[in-house]
Structure 1
Amino acid sequence: MKLILASGSPRRRQLLTDLGLAYEIRLREVDESYPPTLRRGAVAEYLARHKAAAYRPDLAPDELLLTADTIVCLADDVLNKPADAAAARAMLTRLQGRAHQVYTGVCLLPGDGRPPVVFSDETTVHFRALSPAEITFYVDRYQPLDKAGAYGAQDWLGLVGIERLEGSYFNVMGLPTHRVWAALHALGQL
């Protein structure tokens, strides 16, 4: 089946390329709201499944759609993409010096009518204490408004701020590649 990536994330594109997978990109606007009763990994899975449902009507029988959504959680608070620089600074101020969880939900939807494969992966990220100057430097220089939790593990802040990870680094980047590879294998795509 032809793999379709429904994501504008350059990090997800790079990870699929690094896996050696051929894929086509399709983009459309999808509402990313979710029921307030959902928590943590359930939010990420819901959003991945919800995004896939928006593409289902246009999916050909020989296509396999991949959607994903990454969220950052501090306790049960979901830290999505910040609305502006002030929100990004506020998020990073909350995260610094603490551990938080990153969840990426993935949905693989076959166009041939088989049920979707939906899963999420969790990684705990431990940040060192950051100074206000470091946070401002990062927000001003790297403009992390397109990233859940207002940071990228592969960016400057990840290099200087992440003390350790428990789980997949690639999950924090936006795609748990080991889980995607296993799911593609189980679907007979590899």
Structure 2
Amino acid sequence: MQLVLGSTSPYRKALLEKLGVEFICIAPDTDETAMAGETPDMLVSRLARAKAESVAHQCSTPSLVIGSDQVACLDGQIIGKPLTHAKAFAQLQQASGRLVRFYTGLCLYNSQSMESQIQVETFDVQFRPLTDQQIEAYLTKEAPYQCAGSFKSEGLGICLFEQLTGRDPNSLVGLPLIALVDMLHQAGLDPLA
């Protein structure tokens, strides 16, 4: 079976490349709008599965499809990708000195059996108290406007944090590799074989 990453994210692609397995990338066609009353973990779980299933329908050969989705939450409220400098600035001001929890949904979908393995990983980021000048300097240097929470932890964003807490730091970038390796093993694929 071919392995397919249901994402066009260069960050998720780079993470999956760490495992040394052959895979292809296909863009999912998924509406990412939250449903009324949906909790962050329910949202990312649903979207990870929807992305994997969407991509599986595009595959002409039996495939194991990886779907992933992530949201950041502050005070229980989802904060999305800022898309603009002004929104990123406001997000980082709000996060200054506070804890932001990331929820990353992961799905491994077998297109042959139509079975899914789904898991949600959480990862906590404790922000340093930040000045407006620090926020402006960070945004000017890294422009993380397509990133949930307005930062890139794999880059200069690490300067914004006091502490990171979670099982797998890859979750923060958008693809929890520890959970994925477990799922791949269950599907009969061992990256170390």
TM, length-normalised to structure 1 = 0.93
Q: Is the 1:12–1:174 contact (alpha carbons within 8 Å) kept by the matching residues of 2?
A: yes
Cross-structure match for 1:165 = 164
RMSD across aligned positions (CA): 1.4
| C-alpha distance in structure 1 between counterparts of 2:78 and 2:36, whole Å | 10
Aligned pairs (5 A) from 1:28-39 = 28-39=28-39
Is the 8 Å Cα contact of residues 72 and 79 (structure 1) preserved in structure 2? Answer: yes
Counterpart of 2:147 in structure 1 is 147
- Please state how far the C-alpha of 1:172 moved relative to its aligned partner: 0.5
* 1:1-190 aligned within 5 A: 1-158=1-158, 160-167=159-166, 168-190=168-190
| Count of residues in correspondence between the two structures | 189
Shift, 1:82, TM fit: 0.8
Q: Choose between structure 1 and 2: higher helix proportion.
A: 1
- Structure 1 alignment gaps of length 5 or more: none
Inter-CA distance 179–121: structure 2 relative to 1 (3 Å threshold): same
Kept in 2, the 8 Å contact 1:48–1:106? The answer is yes
Q: Partners of 1:125 and 1:154 in 2: how far apart?
A: 13
- The range that moved more, 2-11 or 46-55, is 46-55
Amino acid at match of 1:51: K
* Secondary structure at the counterpart of residue 148 of structure 1: coil
Q: Is the 8 A contact 2:29 2:55 kept in 1?
A: no
* Structure 1 position 28, deviation (Å): 4.2
SS of aligned partner of 2:149: helix
Tell me the distance in 2 between the aligned counterparts of 1:131 and 1:137: 10
Q: What's the TM-score once normalised by structure 2's chain length?
A: 0.92
Which moves more between the two structures, 85-94 or 45-54?
45-54
